[in-house]
Amino acid sequence: MEAELSKLGNNLVTKFHVLMRISQIYDSKNVALNQFINEFLETINTLIKGNGVLSLKIIKDDFFLNDQRLRYSVEGFTSFKYLSTQWKKRLIGEVIFKTQMGEEMLRHFIYAFINLEEGCEENADLLKKKLESHQITSVEVNPLEIVEGEEEEAFTLQKEDHREVGKKIFFETIGTIKEVITNIKGNQHADIRKLKRLAQKAIHLVIEDESILLGMTMIKNYDEYTFNHSVNVSIYSLAMGKRLGFSKKILTELGITALLHDIGKSKIPREILNKPAALSNEEWEMMKKHPLMGVEIVLNLKQLGEINPRMVVGVFDHHLMNDLSGYPRLFLKKGVSLFGRIIQIADSYDAMTTPRIYKKIPYTPEQALAVMLREKTVHFDPLLLKIFIGLVGIYPLGSLVLLNTHEIGIVYKSSHDPKWLDRPIVLLVDRDVQGEATKELIDLTDTDRAGNYKWSIVKTLDPYKYHIDIAKYFL
């Protein structure tokens, strides 16, 4: 029941978002609106039918559907963000639909809603009156309840903090790469200009504070592996490129290349990609073609002007390995390109630390680094690997650690000073009385009066044994 309500709730928020956007473009009589009105109607009427009433309410940053908190899906993120911003701007906190809605009613409602003046405290009343003037009495509207200390926040939504910006870029990029892949699968033209814009935004953020996007790579989404993986590889690559002193232009190229590195997989059958067992020889041969197929796709992009040889080669050689023992096999033994070497490290690390259908329990960040260090020089560029370790730390981001105080924490951010690779910022794992995860950060370089460290890491722990969902702490 709850899962069903949550699914419908996500659907409702998405439809609401789309309808608001469309109605800001067209006037209320425009036929372009009909389809969206009908889709939204279908969703709300299903909900009203099943529950007798439909209340959509916003408290702080969360939406509640008939008092059940809605958790957003990856696809839903943009809609949730958009809708909560729009509601908060208009100081609307709750809408209750008490009876089934009709097309005309919905049309009046949505236009009355979007035409509310921002920041006006009487909006809930004004909206109700407007609806009554159209003989609509079955919709109740309540003002936004401002939780103490939040007054300012409601008005300064424009100045979203870095974390919000990070989340937005992250989820939007996942959505966009999904779109690109879907288009390529359907032999349609894919537009990569949007990817470029997102890469540029990500670069701004990485330059200001790389830990935000690096933290997002902990959101390992099992069902959306391909998309999450491309975005994660891009984040790691950009953070490495930043440390290598790349210009913004080169960083943009690197970001796009990393986003597209596995694009060739869109031409490989699903059964092979998601096969829960070892691949047969033929299947493996097919799989090994993805870098080359990627090159073909990239060269056929409509916006070929956005692509240069450096990027094409990066897609081509990301599995070549440092000693050229990987694939594709080369006739001319030339070294692996810089983009290829960077992406290869990011790619291996992300793949190893993500649960997959054939390996449900992945390596912990620490184990993954250990494997990579063992294979270094043969498989990876040792210098770049060193940079990568500097980036994720000795205790990589997302590691679950036991402290000498017997507390458990999650490595949240590596220390800026390389001297403190073993003393990162740690998020203590704890819950408040309501069972919600608390967010207390401690800095392991902190000392007490006598000059002794307040906390030290004793060892890393396996999050699967402790049933801790690391990703939750990074959102």
Look up residue 63 and give its DSSP letter: E
Q: Name the one range near Fe ion by CB under 5 A: 260-268, 277-285, 396-404, 424-432.
A: 260-268
Nearer to Fe ion, 11 or 348 (CB): 348
Long-range contacts at 148-153 (CB < 8 A, ≥ 24 apart): 150/60
Q: Record the tokens describing residue 178, joined without a space.
A: 């999904």
Q: Looking at beta carbons only, is 268 or 421 nearer to Fe ion?
A: 268
Of 14-22, 257-265, 353-361, 378-386, the window that binds Fe ion (rule: CB under 5 A) is: 257-265
For residue 366, state whether it binds Fe ion (rule: CB under 5 A). Answer: no
Taking every pair of Cα atoms in the chain, the longest distance, rounded to a whole number of angstroms, is 78
Tell me the site size for Fe ion, rule CB under 5 A: 2
Smallest separation, CB 386 to Fe ion (Å): 22
Query: In 3D, which of 57, 59, 67, 60 has the Cα closest to residue 13?
Result: 57
> Least distance to Fe ion from the beta carbon of 8, Å?
35
Nearest Cα residue to 75 out of 273, 222, 224, 258: 224
Q: Which of 297, 341, 298, 299 is nearest to 319 (CA)?
A: 341
Whole-number Å distance between alpha carbons of 116 and 126: 8
Q: Please name which of 268, 267, 242 lies closest in space to residue 254, comparing C-alpha atoms.
A: 242
Does 253 bind Fe ion (CB under 5 A)? Our answer is no
Q: Is 436 exposed, middle or buried (0-12, 13-18, 19+ CB in 10 A)?
A: exposed
Q: Buried (b) or exposed (e) across 233-272, using 16+ Cβ within 10 A? A: bbbbbbbbbbeeebeeeebbbbbbbbbbbbbbbbebeeee
Contact window for Fe ion (CB under 5 A) among 184-192, 216-224, 256-264, 414-422 = 256-264
354 or 399: CB nearest Fe ion: 354
Minimum distance from CB of 212 to Fe ion (Å)?
23
Cβ proximity to Fe ion: between 210 and 262 the closer is 262
Range in contact with Fe ion (rule: CB under 5 A) among 72-80, 254-262, 379-387, 428-436: 254-262
400 phi and psi angles, rounded to 5 deg: -95, 125
Q: Applying CB under 5 A, which part among 198-206, 300-308, 342-350, 444-452 lies near Fe ion? A: 342-350
- Contact between 262 and Fe ion (CB under 5 A)? yes
- Which residues are CB-neighbours of 225 under 8 A, at least 6 positions away? 354, 356
| 253 vs 347, beta carbon nearer Fe ion | 347
Least distance in Å: CB of 292 to Fe ion?
11
Any contact of residue 347 with Fe ion (CB under 5 A)?
yes
- Contact (Cβ atoms closer than 8 angstroms) between residue 37 and residue 127: no
Nearest distance from C-beta of residue 263 to Fe ion, angstroms: 9
Measured from the CB atom, the residue of 94 and 347 that comes closer to Fe ion is 347
CB of residue 356 vs Fe ion: minimum separation in angstroms? 12
* Nearer residue to Fe ion within complex by CB, 76 or 264: 264
Q: Which residues make up the interface to Fe ion (CB under 5 A)?
A: 262, 347
